[in-house]
Structure 1
Amino acid sequence: MQLRFIALGMAMSVLLAACQQGGVTSVAKKHPTEQTLTWIHHFDEEGARKWLEMGTQQFTQKNPMYMVTLTGVDGGNYMSLLRTKAISNNMPDIYMIDNLESAEDLIRTGYAMDLTGQPFLSQIDERYLNGVKLADGRIWALPIDVNGAGVIYNKEAFAKAGIQDPPKTWEQFIEACEALRNVGITPIAAGYKDSWTIVWDIAADLLANQHAENVNWFSEIEAGRTTFAEDRIHFKAILKRFGERLKYVSKPFETDWNQAQFLLAEGKAGMIINGTWTVDGVKSKNPASNLGLFAFPYSNDPQDAKFGLKSTGGIVVNPKSPNREVALQLLNLFASKEMGIVFQNNKKALSVIKGLPTDFDPTYVDLDETYIQKGKTYDWSSLPTDFVNQDLQKVFVNALTKFVLDRNHNLESCIQELDQAFDRFRKPYKG
């Protein structure tokens, strides 16, 4: 039987257009017993999509009775889409999640298979299984990579600006921004046209302070046990730094995530503050990009400049799917060393699979030598960047958007608006 594979999303613009217009694309089966597995993800980066495509193609070659459809969804709408599908009992066979905390409702309602004890988990480095376990120790996803939160920079842009070393303090960070601007380079590229990037522009600062001050801050805010005004993780200082660096961002609401990555790839911008998946996105635009990574320096103490690394979330199987056993076979393939190498070489990210080389990309060699080997990292596996309640998340993003648009970047006004808006969805805090 001839191999057939469908990839919906960025990789096939015709199918994406059909999806956006509400159309349904189908392929006639050549055999009445052939089965189709559906897989929804939010990968935008070319390398990540290639990894998915290569793995599913390999699977269907070995198992010609199956085909796999890959559907790429915008990251900002991803969890809302999954919840809508869960409500309508139309969940895919396989899907991705970023962290368990934000998907506990899907687990609780029976849309995530308990993977504890699955043989393919033995192929995963044990250090990276904590991020896919809940308090009871059960495993709910196959982790795929080690994600970092920090600053991605163009080394050639830094050299042009005379910046010899990445900044290790907030004062040095501002000096670097000035130096870049002085030679005509946009210091920070930001694609706020895609709203999820606003949250990720403060995520590295937010995560570092959660880790240092209160790892339960998000859940406490959401439950009304504390307020933004109470400032338990120095959220006011986080907002203040955000406001201070906004003058180094050029036209953020006229720039989308794709365009921001192009700016960094071409050396027209010096930095992007986001996740390590940015490396894949930028290098897919310009493979010759000479990139580096450094920890977001949120204080003037160089010892605080640690790189946040974690492996949480990953590939989830829907236990209500009639194809769940086949889906487990597919996960077994994606947990193999062979697919780990494909992952690292294409997605430009550290795989969680045992025994793989770490010198697959110069950007990660730097990360390994500067931070990992020297113990200058922290684990943010249990630290969220989003609120579980989607109404609260929208309020959070809207408040940050208004903060950016406010020329004065009035943090007290933003804090007050956040607490007042959150109190419409939670019980007011009594102190």
Structure 2
Amino acid sequence: MKLRLRWITAGFASVAIALLASACQPEPVTYIAKTKPNTQVLTWVHHFDEEGARKWLEWGTQSFTKAHPSVTFNLTGVDGGNYMSLLRTRAVSNNMPDMYMIDNLEYAQDLIRSGYAMDLTGQPFLAQIDERYMSGVRSADGRIWALPIDVNGAGVIYNKEAFAKAGIDHPPVTWEQFIADCKALQKAGIIPIAAGYKDSWTITWDIAADLLANQYASGRNWISDVEAGRASFADDSIHFRSILQRFGERLNYVNAKPFDTDWNQAQVLLADGRAGMIINGTWTVDGVKSKNPQSNLGLFAFPYSKDPQDAKFGLKSTGGIVVNAKSPHKEAALQTLALFASKEMGDVFQKDKKALSVIKGLPTDFDPTYVELDDKYIQSGFTYDWSSLPTDFINLDLQKAFVNALTKFVLDHDHNPDLCIQELDQAFDRIRKPFK
């Protein structure tokens, strides 16, 4: 799902910056249904880019309208990189939608505190959700703020036919094997790793699987510690230098001109078998298969160490669908959530979005890609829960500094980790006071 994690502000104070940044961005895409007199029109803002996710959303809302003719929907799709900034801009102008999506409960606390999220605790439709996937929408006081929809993973998506063409008979489980496979793909005339850095969020997601795995292994929320000034990039408490070194090493195997390649183009490279891998989230499966439904894809854990036991797939469900507590259409919105929590919508979700639903009792063999994930990782216990581990900084200025430093690291021919770390610590110290 994309969810791809987004540049996020700590509060409304940085909305002005967000407005300046969004001024140069494409306009949001809005789907406006036909309306009749006395119709309730529910506005729903989302950040779904993949075709399957949009089909699921449109199918569900159209089904609801068929059963409730007095209700219709305006669906607005927003670019992921600007999503939370746009929501906060709308909050400041008291123009929040009736329903919207969040990726991470922690990053939406300002919207919750401002009364733009309805407390869903005790709603009957929540009984349809697998309890294992409720932690990401439950605050410390036990209240539920969103309807979770899917299980997102951070890892590697690969083209099985490209691997076979390169003579690779199984995914790598160590870093050394990963690099050897990159060389084998390159020798076979296949781009080892597709990179779409024209969409800057993909740069952070190119290191997210490595970063999350090391945060989990260290047992600490390192990004939050750095944001608060309790840790630095230089202290190397989660081996950030090694994460950068691995990033620099595999940059030798990405497509030419990655900054001229956007996310959709990168997915096409994998869909057509011109590339062997993309390092990103499991939502990539939907995106790639929307380009080529015949793509034979697989998923494997990012193998960051020499120990195969460390190759675990990060899975989580955080965030989901939020109802605006100030909406005049709250009852209709809650009824909509009840539909989207049904097994029927879960089946549509898995079929169209090509992602694991959080709804109870659904099959796991809906797509061969997920059969492999279930057999190799979920059933064998080779997963970890990254619900409480962020990939982005909440403060927009810190996140921009992070992306800028990583961008310079990619452009630096030497891919010097020490230079990148020095720049990151200096930039972060300028933006927030060092921890005493």
Do they fold alike, i.e. is TM over 0.5? yes
Secondary structure at the residue paired with 2:431? coil
2:214 to 209, 213, 216: 209
1:204-232 CA-to-partner distances (Å, cap 9, x unmatched) read 00000010114321111111111111111
Of the structure 1 ranges 65-74 and 51-60, higher mean CA displacement relative to structure 2 is found in: 65-74
> Contact (CA 8 Å) 1:123, 1:354: kept in 2 or not?
yes
Mapped partners of 2:34, 2:375: distance in 1: 52
Asked if 1:370 corresponds to 2:376, the answer is yes
> Contact (CA 8 Å) 2:202, 2:280: kept in 1 or not?
yes
CA deviation after TM superposition for structure 1 residue 131, in Å: 1.1
2:22 is aligned to none
Mapped partners of 2:244, 2:34: distance in 1: 54
> Contact (CA 8 Å) 1:227, 1:429: kept in 2 or not?
no
> Contact (CA 8 Å) 1:102, 1:386: kept in 2 or not?
no
Mapped partners of 2:397, 2:193: distance in 1: 29
Asked if 1:140 corresponds to 2:130, the answer is no
Secondary structure at the residue paired with 2:45? strand
Residues 27 and 263 of structure 1: is their aligned pair in 2 closer, same or farther, counting only changes over 3 Å? closer
Secondary structure at the residue paired with 1:292? strand
Secondary structure at the residue paired with 1:299? coil
| 2:40 aligned partner, one-letter code | Q
**Paired residues for 1:366-405 under 5 Å:** 366-405=372-411
Secondary structure at the residue paired with 2:294? coil
**Paired residues for 1:125-136 under 5 Å:** 125-136=130-141
Mapped partners of 2:258, 2:95: distance in 1: 36
Asked if 1:347 corresponds to 2:391, the answer is no
> Contact (CA 8 Å) 1:47, 1:280: kept in 2 or not?
yes
1:58 is aligned to 63
1:147-192 CA-to-partner distances (Å, cap 9, x unmatched) read 1000000000000000011000000000000000001100000110
Mapped partners of 1:25, 1:335: distance in 2: 22
1:323-360 CA-to-partner distances (Å, cap 9, x unmatched) read 11111110000000000000000000110000001100
**Paired residues for 1:86-125 under 5 Å:** 86-125=91-130
Mapped partners of 1:25, 1:237: distance in 2: 45
2:90 is aligned to 85
Mapped partners of 1:114, 1:45: distance in 2: 29
2:11 is aligned to none
> What is the percent sequence identity of the aligned residues?
77
2:297 to 291, 296, 302: 291
CA deviation after TM superposition for structure 1 residue 20, in Å: 4.5
1:317 to 312, 320, 323: 323
CA deviation after TM superposition for structure 1 residue 104, in Å: 1.5
2:81 is aligned to 76
1:191 is aligned to 196
Residues 291 and 119 of structure 1: is their aligned pair in 2 closer, same or farther, counting only changes over 3 Å? same
| 2:360 aligned partner, one-letter code | K
Residues 258 and 28 of structure 1: is their aligned pair in 2 closer, same or farther, counting only changes over 3 Å? closer
CA deviation after TM superposition for structure 1 residue 105, in Å: 1.5
| 1:69 aligned partner, one-letter code | N
1:165 is aligned to 170
CA deviation after TM superposition for structure 1 residue 21, in Å: 5.9
Asked if 1:423 corresponds to 2:429, the answer is yes
2:36 to 7, 30, 38: 30
Of the structure 1 ranges 289-298 and 316-325, higher mean CA displacement relative to structure 2 is found in: 316-325
Asked if 1:227 corresponds to 2:241, the answer is no
CA deviation after TM superposition for structure 1 residue 25, in Å: 8.8
Of the structure 1 ranges 359-368 and 319-328, higher mean CA displacement relative to structure 2 is found in: 319-328
Residues 27 and 183 of structure 1: is their aligned pair in 2 closer, same or farther, counting only changes over 3 Å? closer
Mapped partners of 1:41, 1:147: distance in 2: 16
CA deviation after TM superposition for structure 1 residue 391, in Å: 1.1
Mapped partners of 1:162, 1:22: distance in 2: 44
Mapped partners of 1:403, 1:137: distance in 2: 42
CA deviation after TM superposition for structure 1 residue 26, in Å: 6.9
Unaligned segments of structure 1, at least 5 residues: 1-18
2:18 is aligned to none
| 2:368 aligned partner, one-letter code | P
Of the structure 1 ranges 83-92 and 155-164, higher mean CA displacement relative to structure 2 is found in: 83-92
CA deviation after TM superposition for structure 1 residue 30, in Å: 2.8
Unaligned segments of structure 2, at least 5 residues: 1-24
Number of residue pairs matched by the alignment: 411
CA deviation after TM superposition for structure 1 residue 110, in Å: 1.5
The TM-score with structure 1 as length reference comes to 0.93
Asked if 1:255 corresponds to 2:261, the answer is yes
Mapped partners of 2:63, 2:398: distance in 1: 41
1:212-261 CA-to-partner distances (Å, cap 9, x unmatched) read 11432111111111111111111111111000100101121011000000
| 1:344 aligned partner, one-letter code | Q
1:11 is aligned to none
Mapped partners of 1:213, 1:23: distance in 2: 41
1:181 is aligned to 186
Deviating above 3 A after TM superposition, structure 1's stretches of 4 or more consecutive aligned residues are 19-29
Asked if 1:44 corresponds to 2:78, the answer is no
Residues 57 and 23 of structure 1: is their aligned pair in 2 closer, same or farther, counting only changes over 3 Å? closer
Mapped partners of 1:22, 1:235: distance in 2: 36
1:400-429 CA-to-partner distances (Å, cap 9, x unmatched) read 111101111111111111111111221113
Mapped partners of 2:94, 2:307: distance in 1: 51
Of the structure 1 ranges 132-141 and 161-170, higher mean CA displacement relative to structure 2 is found in: 132-141
Secondary structure at the residue paired with 2:63? helix
Mapped partners of 2:318, 2:402: distance in 1: 22
The TM-score with structure 2 as length reference comes to 0.92
Of the structure 1 ranges 108-117 and 337-346, higher mean CA displacement relative to structure 2 is found in: 108-117
| 1:151 aligned partner, one-letter code | V
